[in-house]
Amino acid sequence: MQLSSRQLNGFIEVSRTQNFHKAAKRLFITQSALSQRIKQLEEDIGTVLFVRNRANVFLTESGKKLLAYCKILGNLEADYLKDIRNDKTLDLEIRLTTFSSILRSVLLPILKDLVKEHPGILLDCQWDEMSLLKSYLKEGRSDYVISDHEFNLHGVNCEFLGYEENVMIASPLESEKRSDIFFDHDPDDDMTQRFFEFNNIKDSYRRSYMSDVYGLIDCVQLGLGRAVVSKHLLDLSRVRIIDHYKTLNTPVYLHYNKKPFYSRNQEMVLSLIKEGCRARLKN
């Protein structure tokens, strides 16, 4: 049995968009035609590839294995064509998801020169809440995921990149009446609590929230409260570090799927991320 390239292309687009309607628009075919392709592919293989609900579709375990196969096949084909044509340009999509304090301050500076040099590179870089990062890798929505904890997922590589140095900051404009207010991302963000426990601070504090880490720093600068943030984000002309507390180091890990084969492009991106992060984070 041979797998049809038309069926596999349809499968890849549905995997990428998690939506039949969006995938069909990208392929310039009707939704019913795409549904028929996927149905025929599932019948040919003899297994269900997607779990469907009203809004989205999700890969089954069999679907995840097929997606991994498709990526390997695509990478082999791309490497072969580059060799035949002696083509040194890079054409790839870098799909990366992480948390907010790493994306703009660490990863984009690492990738910028490569992306500017090769116009064929596309970026799909996102940040999300820490608790949701694992799902991006499990559902095939990202190829590289960076978090502050190990996922311990079967078939996934996990590599330590370094530490973020978390410090307490305040503003020269701060009012004493607001010095007990601390900004976190949301009620589930426990950074302030962890910092207090690490420094054995017994004082009580009030909580405020700002989902964007740079907005959080802006709130501190304006004297609206204090925060515990990563040191590498700070412009010390805008805020001050309260330096009589110990720095809380939080680990940073890179996750990506184990594969029997990595293309030269993938190896280059992995090397760039690892070396760049280790140069910018505390080790």
Beta strand residue intervals within the chain, DSSP E: 50-52, 57-59, 93-98, 122-127, 144-147, 156-170, 181-184, 206-209, 226-230, 240-241, 248-257
Q: Are residues 193 and 220 in the same domain?
A: yes
Please state the pTM of the whole predicted model: 0.75
Looking at residue 133, what is its pLDDT? 95
Report how far residue 178's alpha carbon sits from residue 74's, in angstroms, rounded to the nearest whole number. 56
Number of folded domains that form the chain: 3
Look up the CATH number of the domain holding residue 179. 3.40.190.10
For the chain, residues with pLDDT lower than 50 are none
Report how far residue 184's alpha carbon sits from residue 114's, in angstroms, rounded to the nearest whole number. 34
Structural domain of 243 = 164-248
List of residues 6+ apart from 276 with CB closer than 8 A:
106, 107, 109, 110
Among residues 17, 45, 72, the one where a domain terminates is 72
Q: Are residues 227 and 169 in the same domain?
A: yes
Residue type, 197: E
Say if 119 falls within a structural domain.
yes
Say if 131 falls within a structural domain.
yes
**What are the tens digits of pLDDT across the range 46-86?**
999 999 877 788 899 899 889 888 887 887 777 777 777 77
Tell me the CB-side half-sphere exposure of residue 127, using CA atoms within 13 A: 16
Q: Are residues 187 and 206 in the same domain?
A: yes
Looking at residue 2, what is its pLDDT? 74
Contact call for residues 141 and 14 (beta carbons, < 8 A): no
Say if 81 falls within a structural domain.
no
Q: Are residues 157 and 170 in the same domain?
A: no
Report how far residue 12's alpha carbon sits from residue 93's, in angstroms, rounded to the nearest whole number. 14
